[in-house]
Amino acid sequence: MQHKNQFVIETHNLEFGFGRKTSILKNINLKVERGAIYGFLGPNGAGKTTTIRLLLGLLKDPYHSVFLFGKNLLQKRIECLSKTGALIEQPSLYEHLTGFDNLEITRQLRRIPKERIEEVLETVRLSEAAGKKVKAYSLGMKQRLGIALALLSKPELLILDEPVNGLDPMGIMEMRELLQTINKRHNTTIFLSSHLISEVEKIVTHVGVISMGNILFQGTISDLYNLQKNELKIHIKVDNPASAVNLLKSSYSVVDNEASLSITIESKEEVNEIIRLLINSNLKIYEAVIESKDLEQLFLKMTNNYTVC
């Protein structure tokens, strides 16, 4: 069955469970556009790795609901995987072999020209360490070699499971730069999972949030920022709270907390307007604090609320 659309990854009500009673994924409908960097976010145990394993055919999908490049993965496994590079959890590396040998194994299996090894080694800056045994590599080097393995076949789609996990801040920054370069230079679609939004929010174009096997949000990063706008509040202490409430209640949602007033705003630009209104009414302002929820808090709220429900 051929699906003519722009989605590189598409799942139709993807479900998975170990046994009849344990449901790990429920009705997952992923849609990843060509050329996107899609951040697949969720806390530990949310179902990210299970989803990725299903996307790569490493777990059995009884309903055949995974489509890569518009083709059903189970029906066209070889064709789909030939355009896909992957890094799942920790990189799968033969530690008793050199970095070069690890790449050589994948090169021979995927029938790629030999020169490509030098190219990917250069891309991930491992040319000098290629002759060393992998067991002597640092975690960051192993992670980069894992990326090199995934890149070897010049894939159209790169699936990376927690690619920055365990890396130091420098390593995280390098990985971000590397992924952005790959995406821009070759228009490679990147699907990467993470449990920390702060690690990936700077590079992703699209976001999917998963918790307890359910997709809670899916859209562009700007859609997510828009959600965040509605979560902005300003706390103001004034000499006469009752007058302030009367003044503002027609335009804003105001709650009198006795200690201060909590006013919900859509953007930080509105703070100036509120302060001006209060001053013009001769009210004395003792304190004004903006409580802005960043994406991390929004993400936590989203996933925590779902967990509590």
Partner 1 sequence: MIHYQVKNIYKMKELLAVYRTELIKTKNSFAFWLVILGALFIPAFFVSTIAWHWEDYVHYLVIDNPNPWNEYSRKLFNGVHFTFLPLLIILIVALVFNIEHKSNTWKHVFAMPIAKTKIFFGKYLSLVTLVFLLYCLMFIFYLLGGYLLGIWKPQFGFLNYSPSYMYGTIHTNIVAYISKSFITVLAILGIHFWLSFRIKNLFPTIGIGLGGVVLAIGMYISHWHSLIFFPYGLPVLMCNYAPGIDHFLTTFQQNSLIYFSVILMASYFDFIKFFRG
119-138: contacts with partner 1 (CB under 8 A): 133
Nearer to partner 1, 141 or 236 (CB): 141
Nearer to partner 1, 161 or 174 (CB): 161
Instruction: Check residue 191 and report its DSSP letter.
Output: E
- 3-state secondary structure labels for all residues of 258-290: CCCEEEEECCCHHHHHHHHHHHHCCCCEEEEEE
Q: What is the closest distance, in whole angstroms, from the C-beta atom of residue 88 to partner 1 in the complex? A: 5
Can you tell me whether residue 203 is helix, strand or coil? coil
Can you tell me whether residue 63 is helix, strand or coil? coil
Indicate whether 19 belongs to the interface with partner 1 (CB under 8 A): no
Report how far residue 81's alpha carbon sits from residue 55's, in angstroms, rounded to the nearest whole number: 10
Q: Is residue 9 within 8 Å of residue 68, measured between CB atoms?
A: yes
Binding residues for partner 1, rule CB under 8 A, total 33
Applying CB under 8 A, which part among 105-113, 199-207, 264-272, 295-303 lies near partner 1?
105-113
Q: Is residue 99 within 8 Å of residue 130, measured between CB atoms?
A: yes
Indicate whether 300 belongs to the interface with partner 1 (CB under 8 A): no
Q: Which residues have CB under 8 Å from 175's CB, separation 6+?
A: 143, 144, 147, 163, 164, 167
Q: Which residues have CB under 8 Å from 185's CB, separation 6+?
A: none
Q: What is the closest distance, in whole angstroms, from the C-beta atom of residue 230 to partner 1 in the complex? A: 40
Nearer to partner 1, 30 or 295 (CB): 30
Q: What is the closest distance, in whole angstroms, from the C-beta atom of residue 104 to partner 1 in the complex? A: 6
Which candidate, 220, 221, 191, places its Cα nearest to that of 38?
Answer: 191
Q: Which long-range contacts (CB under 8 A, 24 or more apart) does 72-76 make?
A: 72/1, 75/1
Indicate whether 114 belongs to the interface with partner 1 (CB under 8 A): no
Indicate whether 173 belongs to the interface with partner 1 (CB under 8 A): no
Instruction: List the one residue from 59, 74, 271, 277 that touches partner 1 (CB under 8 A).
Output: 59
Longest alpha-carbon distance in the chain:
79
Indicate whether 109 belongs to the interface with partner 1 (CB under 8 A): yes
CA 199 to mean position of chain CA atoms: 8
Instruction: List the one residue from 5, 64, 105, 138 that touches partner 1 (CB under 8 A).
Output: 105
Q: What is the dihedral of CA 201, 121, 90, 182, to 10 degrees?
A: 30
190-209: contacts with partner 1 (CB under 8 A): none
What does the buried/exposed string (b/e) look like for 114-142 if buried means 16 or more CB atoms within 10 Å of the residue's CB? eebbeebbebbebbebbeeebeebeebbb
Indicate whether 116 belongs to the interface with partner 1 (CB under 8 A): no
Instruction: List the one residue from 2, 5, 108, 198 that touches partner 1 (CB under 8 A).
Output: 108
Instruction: List the one residue from 12, 17, 31, 97 that touches partner 1 (CB under 8 A).
Output: 97
61-90: contacts with partner 1 (CB under 8 A): 77-82, 84, 86, 88-90
- Beta strand pairing status for 261-265 and 285-291? unpaired
Instruction: List the one residue from 106, 143, 183, 194 that touches partner 1 (CB under 8 A).
Output: 106
Indicate whether 257 belongs to the interface with partner 1 (CB under 8 A): no
Q: What is the closest distance, in whole angstroms, from the C-beta atom of residue 108 to partner 1 in the complex? A: 5
Residue ranges that bind partner 1, judged by CB under 8 A: 53, 56-60, 77-82, 84, 86, 88-90, 92-97, 101, 104-106, 108-111, 133, 149
